[in-house]
Chain A
Amino acid sequence: MLRRAILVILLLGAGSASAGQVDWPEAGLVWKVFTLQDYNTRQVVISTILLGVTAGLVGTFLLLRRRSLMGDALSHATFPGIGAAFVVMILLGGTGRSLPGLLVGATVTGLLGVLLVMAIRNTTRLKDDAAMGIVLSVFFGVGVALIQMVKDMPQAGPAGLNDFIYGTAASMIRSDFLLILVVAIGTCLVSLLLLKELTLLCFDESFAASQGWPTVRLDIVLLTIVTAVTVIGLQAVGLVLIIAFLIIPATAARFWTQRLGWMLTLSAIIGGVSGWLGASLSALVRDLPTGAVIVLVAAAIFLVSMLFGRGRGVVPRGLRHARLRRKVGRQHLLRAVYEIVESGQPDVAEPVRNLPITFEALLAHRSWSAAQVGGLLRTARAEDHLENTEPGSVRLSEAGFGEASRVTRNHRLWELYLIRYADIAPSHVDRDADLVEHVLDAEVVSQLESELQDRPSSLEVPPSPHFINHPSPEVS
């Protein structure tokens, strides 16, 4: 029991690495396999790379159309085709094991399944997910029924059909390799030739339709090339894992870029690299199923992309948020100090002078907690916006005061603009201005200045257009 538990933990923890009993291949062989010099594995590795590149390209379009799971429905829908082709070939007197024949069957039912999904979605209240689920389960059920029906036939012994579920890249022969080569290159070519049309279809289907593009036919073309990729992937990585090939590279690429061209390139690269690393690893280590290793490599790339992807990755996005939050906090603090100083001044016409204020006045100015104000003050001190004063009193430094005037000025300019042009009541304008003032850049500010020309156009801070509520307006 304990031994088993340890084995499970090792297996779970190591993921793809195999626990203990592996005899590691020698370095020379590793080098040869990874550089495609090993004759035995070259075909397999090249074809999984091709498959990865193609699936990466096609998967990008699927992802952008929010149809990622179409690959799932499709790959299951090929199953009855495999069974039916098998039966037909036996009835015609063959062995039923000819790969091209099986793949033709797979293509036929795969396409039929895809068309049914579209038909169900377009003619009923059911959504994409239900349409795909229905086609997937019913087709797969029919396939299983068919295959179990013929498994007792004397000529049959269709144990090989199970290979389509889990994939057996290792048993690939020359003709399979050529088939994958031709289909992969053809698919890449079609998707690159139709790049503009497919882009349009992905981003704005109704616009494409209004411009006279045949959107339904383009949709069918897209799903046909998806079917082609799925069918050639069946043998190499299997029915379930080809789904991953269609989804993971594209989704991983999405974290790095906003541009379609880059996304397609990256996705193709990620797909190719997963195919290359996965197939090589599985060729080197005993008992590692190719498809599964490829998927794990792709999943690892996905995880890294999701965390660190430059465009939408979790960590960069978190950092950007934190930076923005810090900026907002800083601006709020500076404006609060400025407003308190300003309100303590006896003569409104005088320019505002930088005076120290009390911590309590600051605390009462906005709905801040003492801890929040403390944090903001610490940041401000680190940024040299505050001078060192005795505890309980706050005084801006020269740089801080300049920044405070600038921030307050921007806020008020924006308020005035909103009052004049957006017809917002002076009593409400403070909050509305708050939403945008932090992202105002110099260009917008100068535009605001010219819009509000009758205001004193100097660098002065205009007076607040509304009453600023101070519970204790005295300045210490």
Chain B
Amino acid sequence: MNWTIDDTWIVTIGAMCAVACALPGCFLVLRQMSMMGDAISHAVLPGLAAGFLLTGSRASLVMFIGAGVVGVLTAVFTQWVSKFGKVDRGAAMGIVFTTLFAIGLIMIRQAADHVDLDAGCVLYGAIELTILEQPVRIGAFAIPPAALMIGSVLIANLLIILLLFKEFRISSFDPALATTVGINANLMHYLLMTMVAITTVAAFEAVGSIIVIAMLIVPPATAFLLTNRLNVMLAFSVVIGVISSILGHMGALSVPPLFGLKGTVTSGMMAAVAGGLFFLAWILGPEGLLITRVRGNREIEKPGSAPSGETA
């Protein structure tokens, strides 16, 4: 494995991306809306296409805004369908995002004669290519533009969550209580959705949607298995995100050569590593399969606790 400054940048961008996603992701998992990240990242396609058709360039502000708007609209439409139509929220989400995705596909196909936008690039992303872009110079540092973009989203997310920590916590665990103490639970819902949409879109352009979908859910869910406290869960999910990024990139460089292949994409490997970490927490965590089994057996075997024998 040949580690260069470029690899450091890739890992840094991946880690920033993972942290930026994991922070709002914790609240998505707590609110049982984990699939929202997936829905938004598919649904923004028409926004991306419209922005792209308007400006003709791939990394434009218009495209960013278009996708962001459609991302928030996804959340709004989902809410409408499930509220007015009294449809199960999962089904509402599925209907909205597949329809938007279909519209986006048609727009791209119709415009294929005029412009060059490959739908595949949006899904896979190419974190490796971010470092090839012309770096932005700040003082003595040369920073890849993607790092700047994701870094600012990360800082924004961090600030919002630090400032509104109490509000987010109350409205996630007990929306009714939040309303009685004067917090607009609905507003918090849409604020969270906006954060998810903007993070998705920002990360999406730089690194592809797989990282976003995986990092929104897997690190928070892993952290959820490890602790009962919200602030510990946030911290754990950040750490898990960073570890996934480091190990993911190392894996992408070093696993394929074992089979005589050149290498693979970091994004996919990051998701795979995060999945591996989740698996470890699932089996070995404080409420994991292994521990509860051992502890359960010990409690049964303890004399005087439960009558031994057929307790399973």
Contact = CB atoms under 8 A, between A and B. Distances in A.
Interface of A: 1, 4-5, 7-8, 11-12, 15-16, 18-19, 21, 63, 66-69, 71-72, 120, 123-130, 132-134, 136-146, 148-150, 152-153, 162, 165-166, 240-241, 243-244, 246-248, 250-251, 254-255, 287-289, 291-293, 295-296, 299, 302, 306, 312, 314
Contacts of A133: 34-35, 37-38, 213, 216-218, 221
A299 B282 CA distance: 38
Contacts of B111: 7, 11
The 9 A-B residue pairs whose C-beta atoms are closest, nearest first, are A141-B271, A145-B268, A138-B275, A244-B98, A137-B214, A144-B268, A133-B34, A292-B102, A133-B217
A123 B279 CA distance: 12
B276 to A, nearest CB: 8
A103 B21 CA distance: 33
A12 B95 contact: no
B143 interface: no
B183 interface: no
Contacts of B287: 124-125
A149 B261 contact: yes
Contacts of A4: 53-56
Contact of A129 (B32, B103, B213, B261): B32
A288 B108 CA distance: 10
Given A72-B35, A251-B87, A288 B106 contact: yes
Given A19-B110, A287-B110, A137 B213 contact: yes
B91 A287 contact: no
Contacts of A243: 94, 98
A292 B49 CA distance: 15
Contacts of A251: 87, 91, 95
A289 B90 contact: no
A145 B265 contact: yes
A240 B275 contact: no
B269 A129 contact: no
A141 B214 contact: yes
B29 A130 contact: yes
B76 to A, nearest CB: 15
Interface residues of B, number: 72
B103 A15 contact: yes
Contacts of B114: 7
B237 to A, nearest CB: 12
27 contacts: A11-B50, A12-B50, A67-B90, A68-B90, A130-B34, A133-B38, A134-B217, A136-B213, A138-B218, A141-B210, A142-B268, A144-B124, A144-B265, A152-B262, A165-B120, A165-B123, A246-B94, A251-B87, A287-B109, A292-B109, A296-B99, A296-B102, A296-B103, A306-B81, A306-B85, A312-B85, A312-B86
A32 B218 CA distance: 50
Contact of B32 (A16, A123, A124, A127): A127
Contacts of A21: 113
Contacts of A152: 261-262
A251 B112 CA distance: 33
B13 interface: no
A7 B56 CA distance: 12
A239 to B, nearest CB: 10
A90 to B, nearest CB: 12
Given A68-B94, A69-B35, A312-B86, 12 more contacts: A12-B107, A63-B91, A124-B282, A137-B216, A137-B274, A140-B210, A141-B269, A141-B270, A142-B268, A149-B259, A150-B261, A255-B85
Given A129-B33, A292-B103, A137 B210 contact: yes
